[in-house]
Amino acid sequence: MLNFDKLIFSSNAYNILSLDCKSKRISHAYLFASKDENLLKRFCEVCAKLFINLDPSANEEKNNLRIDKGVHPDVKFFGLDKTINTETAKDIVEQASYSPFESDKKVFVLWNVGSMNEASQNKILKTIEEPPENTFFVLAANSTVKLLPTILSRIKLIEIDELKAEQIYEMLVESGVEKTRAEICSSSARGNATYAEKLATDDGFLDFYNQIVSAFFEINGSRDVLKFSNIFNAKTINKREFLDIFMMIARDVSMIIAKNDGLVVNKNLISKLKVVASMLNFDAVSEVIKECLEQKKNLDYNVNGTSVIDSVLFKLAEVKVKCRRLLA
């Protein structure tokens, strides 16, 4: 597990929360949002520690240790194993009415609230709006799209900043990941350290990544598409992941063409990408990126994955042919 603590304590989200505590203007309910699952979980644990330890106490170290282990009697976690349903929501409301067991405060951490249905949200609404004295609610969500406006209007929403590739790289290396693998995984993770860690432990990912890089070199016409179509249309290949990496590499090529090498994400590939850049122009790469974006939309509408992959590969072949004709 990656250690997020250093980044959390220097984040804008933590600074906002810390300032609320120091100024004694703490909201009765906070909603923290991030697509990074483990970062979000750790942030909520840190938040729970802040609330339980608001007043100086000799029990602070003991409180923190038990929160980390998930066994503090006055810090309750819900939704870690499954989405909070109406029965669980009823339990939350009931437990919120009880007095603290050993502290003078209680903290309820509700995980994955973005997946709660409307009935479950309505069940906890009044309790979140008017909680018992010294009771705090900490809500966590990967997305707020499905949350009711009535819920959102009664909590303080704090977005946790997306991590930079450099930050994820440092965490991966600190956890023992080899530097080249760490650089590739951090640049491919789209600001999500939990996802980067998953990629770093997937032995097949580097081969997948290198095959996409090879496609940029080897596809020079429609006849070259079949080889890579067979590779990328295998059942085990994540089509959305393919599009994200393909688009990221295309973007890096466009940065090189624009002479902005410093903005290249895949710095481990820069010498190779310069060769690809010499075969294309800016308009050609823009067409490839546009095609990737279009096919991402198609995936949302459950378009056949094979046609999605093939459309992107044929677009790369098409723009390469056009560029050769322009140079001829």
User: Measured between alpha carbons, how far is 209 from 207 in angstroms, rounded to an integer?
Assistant: 5
Mean pLDDT across 311-324: 96
* pLDDT given for residue 328 in this prediction: 66
The answer to whether the beta carbons of residues 69 and 40 sit under 8 Å apart is: no
122-173 pLDDT, tens digit each:
999 999 999 998 999 999 999 999 999 999 999 999 999 999 999 999 999 9
pLDDT for the residue 1? 79
Supply angle C-alpha 39, 43, 46, rounded to 5. Answer: 145
Contact 320, 280 (CB under 8 A): yes
Residue 271: is its pLDDT beyond 90?
Answer: yes
CB atoms within 10 A of CB 12: 11
How many CA atoms does the CB half-sphere of 194 hold within 13 Å?
A: 11
Per-residue pLDDT tens for 228-244? 999 998 877 889 999 99
pLDDT at residue 17 is higher than 80: yes
SS3 75: strand
Whether residue 81 has pLDDT greater than 70: yes
Task: Average the pLDDT over 111-132 and give the result.
Answer: 94
Residue 4 has pLDDT above 90, yes or no: yes
Rounded Cα distance, 283 and 290, in Å: 10
Question: Distance between CA atoms of 75 and 251, rounded to whole angstroms?
Answer: 45
DSSP label of 132 = P
Residue 201 DSSP label: T
pLDDT at 119: 96
Say what the pLDDT of residue 291 is. 97
**In the chain, what's the furthest Cα-to-Cα distance?**
81
| Average pLDDT over all residues of the chain | 93
pLDDT exceeds 90 at position 190: no
For the chain, percent of residues with pLDDT exceeding 70: 99
Is residue 131 within 8 A of residue 29, CB to CB? The reply is yes
Asked if residue 56 has pLDDT above 90, the reply is: no
Q: What backbone torsions phi and psi does residue 264 show, to the nearest 5 degrees?
A: -70, 130
Looking at residue 257, what is its pLDDT? 96
Question: pLDDT by residue (tens digit) across 272-289?
Answer: 999 999 999 999 999 999
Residue range 34-63: mean pLDDT, rounded? 91
The amino acid that residue 97 corresponds to is S
DSSP alpha helices (H): ranges in 70-156?
A: 86-96, 118-129, 149-152
Rounded (5°) CA angle 116-82-139: 50
